[in-house]
Chains A and B, each alone.
Chain A
Amino acid sequence: MVTLDDSQGEPDWRRRRFLVATTSVVGAAAVAAVAGVMVDSLEPTAADAAAASTTVNLAPIEAGMQLTVPWQKKPVVIVNRTPAMLATLKETADKGLLRDPNCDVPQQPPYCKNEYRARKPEWLVMIRICNHLCCIPHYRPKKASVTPWWLGGFHCPCHGSMYDLSGRVIKGSPAPHNMAVPEYDFAKDGKTVTITKMYPKAHLC
């Protein structure tokens, strides 16, 4: 560096170093704050958050039938289960067919940790993605429609994973866990259901 020699007196180098350091630190903090804001702007927008929830009218789903709707680019199945279908849930569990009958693995929000895996026993709301390798299982509600002992449930066409009518995985399937249940709410009048967000601990495939 070129110094201006024969200037009057030696510059105060300590003061200069201190001021350079202070300016650098404050400047760097400002740049970091702006950079943080800029990266944050690339996060999902409020429009995405609004599109993230889907409201489904339950009226057209007759007893024993299912409706599958797209939600966050994933299929969500809504099943209107009859009392007879609900009775099979206890039966499968009692026969010891299930890998996780009590839903100990958090594949569902806490309020769905029951044999129905649902807020209301008759309504199953579940992400219809097989826990094994992401296929979409077939809905097979009729008894003996897959195997002679079949009580009704879901059967995956890819690698044969089997689930009961609550989406609990049946022993001997390649799938490790029960199918995932998202977070959802019923409207006050019970006529619609709104799927709000993914249950963060749940594992899809």
Chain B
Amino acid sequence: MATFGDWLNKRFPLRELMREHLTEYFAPKNFNFLYYTGSLLLLMIVLQFVTGFLLMAHYVPTSQDAFASVQGIMYDVRWGWLIRYMHVDGVSLIFVLLYLHIGRGMLYGSYRKPRELLWIIGYTIYILMMGEAFLGYVLPFGNLSYWAGMVITSIIHSVPFVGPALSTLARGGAGIGTATLERFLALHAVLWFWILAAAIFIHILALHQVGSNNPDGIEIKDTKGADGHPLDGIPFHPYYTVKDIFGVGVWLTIFAAIIFYAPTMHGVFLERTTFSPANPMVSLPDVTPPWYLAPFYAMLRAVPNKMAGIVLMAVAVVLPFFLPWLDRSPVKSSRYRPVYRIMILVMAVTFFTLAWVGEQPPLPKYFLLERAGAAIYVGFYLLLPIISRWEPTRKVPDRVTS
């Protein structure tokens, strides 16, 4: 085997890659459970890729047959139900992981220097993921798919100057029909997906350049031992590989429990209105987005003016890009920033309240909640430069705590 290894390494830098990214890639030793999310996201994307391929092998992208072909997968294809539930529930679980992953970054200041670019690439992945989810959402062509497609393409329509042309380009015709399904499938499975995959690859490359942050927000590279390795760092392999394998086991147990015992999650992961075929003549009782997009949708509804609502939503989506420069505190981790810690907590509660209210019917009684939520959300980013300058901080230790 050794000779084969030599032969291979003369032609492909396998050992070098292993050393650089696994056995001599040092990660802080004080990771908590939030640090499982990265490797789990990677696993889930691979699973989506595989199940997506199998779904596509049976899917017919025409307005006549799309709904029936998806039901054919559920009823007639062997294990079709398992594959579709994996794909559908996988989306919701990816967003659970994404929110934990992003929340972790905010909690421990992982967006701060030198990880600004890492944060921006990561947040771009989140936005691409929303697009990918939306494209996939339209494909089964239930009534919800149809109206979601209508609403989102109308939002594109209201973009100044290029909007009308863009929305026609997205729809491929007067309405949502076969042309839309064909191009959405092509985008979902080919172009958009590969852009997403490339962004993920770049994200990991950038991570390996700067190294992982940790719950204490301390740079482990600042304290190196005699051998030149960080004293608080441990090689990714074997320590984090075995830890991540354990994480995968626990996560897949949760995933399987959902797939086998609550695949629609009571209408949250797979909505009731996806079970009636698309009908351009019958609008739904209330068109609400999937839970993971609902916070932004709630902000869209908070303003009684079409353009202003769309602008507010766009601002809310874009604001986190500027986080590395909005935060002026000398300390990174919220562990040593009591005020920032409270702000993050309020932000998390607000975000999930907005998600909840975004799922409710569009009634005036929710306006106050929607507006308050939008104000807190935007307020967080606007107040951060001021608060982070004067907020009191605790002393940051020199070495990571365990």
Quick check: which of A40-48, A172-180, A185-193 contacts chain B, the rest being far away?
A: A40-48
Known: A23-B245, A46-B75. A41 touches B23 (CB 8 A): no
Determine which of A1, A4, A27, A45 lies in contact with B78 in the assembled complex, contact meaning CB atoms within 8 Å. A45
The reply to whether the CB of B271 lies closer than 8 angstroms to some CB of chain A is no
Q: Is A45 a contact partner of B82 (Cβ separation < 8 A)?
A: no
Interchain CA distance A3-B237 in the complex, whole Å: 11
Interchain CA distance A23-B54 in the complex, whole Å: 28
Known: A38-B54, A41-B83, A42-B57. A47 touches B23 (CB 8 A): no
Q: Is A37 a contact partner of B24 (Cβ separation < 8 A)?
A: no
The reply to whether the CB of B58 lies closer than 8 angstroms to some CB of chain A is yes
Residues of A within 8 A of B83 (CB): 37-38, 41
Which residue on B lies nearest to A40, using beta carbons? B78
The reply to whether the CB of B235 lies closer than 8 angstroms to some CB of chain A is yes
Determine which of B77, B235, B245 lies in contact with A45 in the assembled complex, contact meaning CB atoms within 8 Å. B77
The reply to whether the CB of A59 lies closer than 8 angstroms to some CB of chain B is no
The reply to whether the CB of A84 lies closer than 8 angstroms to some CB of chain B is no
Which residue on B lies nearest to A44, using beta carbons? B78
**Chain B interface: which size bin?**
20 to 34
Known: A1-B235, A37-B82, A40-B78. A45 touches B23 (CB 8 A): no
| Residue from A1, A41, A45, A47 having most chain B Cβ neighbours under 10 A | A41
Interchain CA distance A51-B233 in the complex, whole Å: 62
**Contact residues of A with B, CB < 8 Å?**
1-2, 4, 23, 27, 37-38, 40-43, 45-47
**Contact residues of B with A, CB < 8 Å?**
23-24, 50, 54, 57-58, 72, 75-80, 82-83, 229, 234-235, 237-238, 245
- Given contact pairs A41-B54, A45-B72, a sample of 7 additional A-B residue pairs in the complex whose CB atoms are under 8 Å apart: A1-B23, A2-B235, A4-B234, A41-B77, A42-B57, A45-B58, A45-B76
Subset of 21 A-B contacts with CB under 8 Å = A1-B235, A1-B237, A2-B24, A2-B229, A2-B235, A4-B234, A23-B245, A37-B79, A37-B83, A40-B78, A41-B79, A41-B80, A42-B57, A45-B58, A45-B72, A45-B76, A45-B77, A45-B78, A46-B75, A47-B72, A47-B76
